[in-house]
Amino acid sequence: MLTPLPADRWDRTKAAHLLNRAGFGGTPAQIDALHKLGLASAVRSLVDGPAQPKPVLPPPWAKPQDLASKRDGMRDQVAMSADGKERGEIQKRFNQMQRREQVGHTRDLGIWWLAQMRTTNDPLLEKLTLFWHGHFATSVVKVRDAFWMWQQNEAFRRFGRGHFGALVKAISRDPAMLIWLDLRDSRKSHPNENFARELMELFTLGEGHYTEKDVTEAARAFTGYRLNFREQSFRYAASEHDDTPKELFGRKGKFDGDAVIDLILAKPECPRFIAKKLWQFFAYEEPEPALVNHLGETFRLCDYEVRPLLLRMFSSEEFYSDRAIGTQIKSPVQWLVSTARIFDTDYPSPFVLFFAMRQLGQILFLPPSVKGWDGGKAWISTSTLLARYNLSGLFVETATGPMLQGIQKAVRDLGFDTMNDEPPSVRMPDAGAVDVAKLIPAALRTEPAKLIETLAGRLFSGPLAPRQRDAFLDFLKTKPSPPDDASIRSLLHLMMSTPGFQLC
């Protein structure tokens, strides 16, 4: 029931857990620092964010483009050409160039975001943005414009820890969402129900808490939302808005889109639905019904403000219970970002990242459907598990050349011949970026048990079971004594190639 955790039960394991879940984990020093703050200040530091957040610099190309003028320019060219065949060619070249540019930018965008997550000093902001990306799951496959995808991402950052209603209203006007759920084509004469339905089913209430009539009425309220292609922005077309009376949830009025959102927010299912989903993302799956009710009530009492809800969640006994700590299967994004963060190192390379997202089953800006990612056990198959184990090698081992060549080939072979014509930039990364000397003091090399304890403390969220510890010790016995860098790299790879490392 969200019982506050007594301050004297705050310990280092809980600090590590908080950093894993409210962010993307960190180095032992970062965990120590968080632990020293004490429970209340530690939670505040993450939920409120730093006093001076690092500015999130957009990718260089993330500016509105005058798409309308661009197209007009192409049309002028077409008009000047007398030759019918040439006209077709001009148009085709134009479309091809546009597509190439968008595919390149989209690839950049995912890698740009992973870089933010790795380097930010406000990890909760990025973690929460990831949550909202999965909640209002929008895919570039249909939006086909990287700037608009970036803009939506920025909206999650701007509104994500504030008032939920303000966030929903912002997203209902978000150009990427307008394209994704066909709102931009919704006309007074033919309202499109796609957005109205998902708004209730997936974004706010959950199935069973609205009627078909509510959907059709809401669809009428959301008419008139349009796109401005000259400024790449939202535009409201009053002439396309249906301002006749509507009836929703038993209430009558000339509701517009925002009014519909207000009606939804007034329903008790809404805070429960959202608070439960936040809990599942940050704490654990299938929370007890009593806890769900309590979470919903708390969110309502917080007046839909996300920040105070998170504050209470992260300060609760339940959040630090055995059901929560070390039980979550890392998402591919969590796996990539936290691996880099716990080693305090860069990713193997943008090229590997792109491949990894695909192979592990979570491509940013490309969720499988409007329902987002299933998460949990659905992240894991024999293939994705082996892929995690093998990608681990790229973080810690040095002789990774053949593996990288295999990745390059795979991306060329399958990743791109159906998506576009151009392979991604083939840049060989600096393999084995982890600096062994930084991870362990030289003196530890002569004390295998302590060495293993130190490394395990960095990698795992719980203590080692005896059989694991013995296996790592026995492994070190097969290596030169004291172990050289190569042996320690192999030990790290082995430690990461276990079920335990997939959990946080």
Partner 1 sequence: MNDHPSTDTPGTLQTRRSFLRTSLLGAAAAWTLPIFIDKTFFTLNALAADSAIQTVTGKDSTILVVLQLAGGNDGLNTVVPFADDAYRKARPTLGLGADRVLKLNDQTGLHPSLAPLKALFDEGHLGIIEGVGYPNPNRSHFRSTEIWQTASEANENRAYGWLGSYFDSACQGADPTVGVAIGGLSPQAFASKTPTGVNFARPEQYRWINYDKTRGPNNASEHFFRELNMPGEMAADIASIAGDDPARDSGGSVGAIGGSIASGGSSLDFLERTALDAQISSDKVLEIARRTKPLVSYPGGRLSESLSLVGRMIAGGLPTRVYYVSLGGFDTHQNQQPAHDRLMQELAGALGAFAADLKAQKNFDRVMLMTFSEFGRRVEQNASGGTDHGAAAPMFIMGGGTKAGIHGRRPSLTQLHQGDLMHTVDFRSVYASVLEQWLKVPSQPVLGRKFSPLALV
Q: Which is nearer to partner 1, 250 or 499 (CB)?
A: 499
Of the residues 368, 375, 423, 457, which one makes contact with partner 1 according to CB under 8 A: 368
In the list 208, 250, 466, 480, the residue contacting partner 1 (rule: CB under 8 A) is 466
- 232 sits in the region (left: phi over 0; alpha: psi -120 to 50; else beta) called left
Only one of the segments 50-58, 72-80, 159-167, 317-325 lies at the binding site for partner 1 (rule: CB under 8 A); that segment is 317-325
Residue 404 identity (one-letter amino acid): L
Scan residues 224-243 and list those touching partner 1 (CB under 8 A).
none
Show contacts with partner 1 in window 282-311 (CB under 8 A).
none
- Contact indicator for 458, 27 with CB cutoff of 8 Å: yes
Of 12, 75, 163, 323, which one interacts with partner 1 (CB under 8 A)? 323
Q: Which of residues 385-404 bind partner 1 (CB under 8 A)?
A: 385-386, 389-390, 393, 397-400, 403
Least Cβ distance, residue 392 to partner 1 (angstroms): 10
The answer to the question of residue 500 lying near partner 1 (CB under 8 A) is yes
- Minimum Å gap between C-beta 410 and partner 1 is 2
Q: In the bound complex, what is the minimum distance in angstroms from residue 470's beta carbon to partner 1?
A: 8
Determine the Cα–Cα distance for residues 254 and 263; give it in Å rounded to an integer: 12
Shortest separation between residue 359's beta carbon and partner 1, angstroms? 6
Least CB distance from residue 258 to partner 1, whole Å? 26
**From 370, 434, 436, 452, residue interacting with partner 1 (rule: CB under 8 A):** 370
Binding window for partner 1 (CB under 8 A); candidates: 25-33, 208-216, 255-263, 471-479: 471-479
Contact 67, 230 (CB under 8 A): yes
263 token code pair: 């009606």
Gap between the Cα atoms of 130 and 118, Å rounded: 13
What's the rounded Cα separation, in Å, for the pair 184 and 205?
23
Q: Does 35 bind partner 1 (CB under 8 A)?
A: no
Q: Which of 289, 322, 437, 442 binds partner 1 (CB under 8 A)?
A: 322
Site for partner 1 in 445-464 (CB under 8 A): 456, 460-464
Rounded to 5°, the CA angle 345-347-351 comes to 160
Span of 39-47, 422-430, 445-453, 473-481 interacting with partner 1 by CB under 8 A: 473-481
Which of 42-50, 213-221, 252-260, 325-333 is the region at the interface with partner 1 (rule: CB under 8 A)? Answer: 325-333
Q: Which is nearer to partner 1, 60 or 466 (CB)?
A: 466
Q: Which of 376, 423, 457, 482 binds partner 1 (CB under 8 A)?
A: 376
Is residue 78 within the footprint of partner 1 (CB under 8 A)?
A: no
Residues forming a β-bridge with 253: 246
DSSP E strands in 166-265: the ranges are 225-228, 233-236, 246-248, 251-253
Instruction: For the segment 328-357, give every residue that binds partner 1 (CB under 8 A).
Output: 328-329, 355
Which residues fall within 8 angstroms of residue 53, CB to CB, at 6 or more apart? 120, 121, 122, 125
3-state SS class at 97: helix
Report residue 296: phi and psi, to 5°.
-60, -45
Query: Between vectors from CA 341 to CA 340 and to CA 346, what angle results, nearest 5°?
Result: 40
Residues contacting residue 90 through CB under 8 Å, at least 6 positions apart:
74, 77, 78, 81
For residue 27, the minimal CB distance to partner 1 (Å) is 19
Measured between alpha carbons, how far is 336 from 118 in angstroms, rounded to an integer? 9
Q: How far is the CB of 245 from partner 1 (least distance, A)?
A: 30
Contacts of 7 (CB under 8 A, 6+ apart): 38, 39, 40
Would the CA dihedral through 102, 105, 110, 113 be positive or negative? negative
For partner 1, the binding residues in 414-443 under the rule CB under 8 A are 414-415, 417-419, 421
Burial group, residue 49, by CB count within 10 angstroms (0-12, 13-18, 19+): middle
CB of 375 to partner 1, least distance (A): 11
Binding partner 1 (rule: CB under 8 A), the pick from 55, 189, 244, 377 is: 377
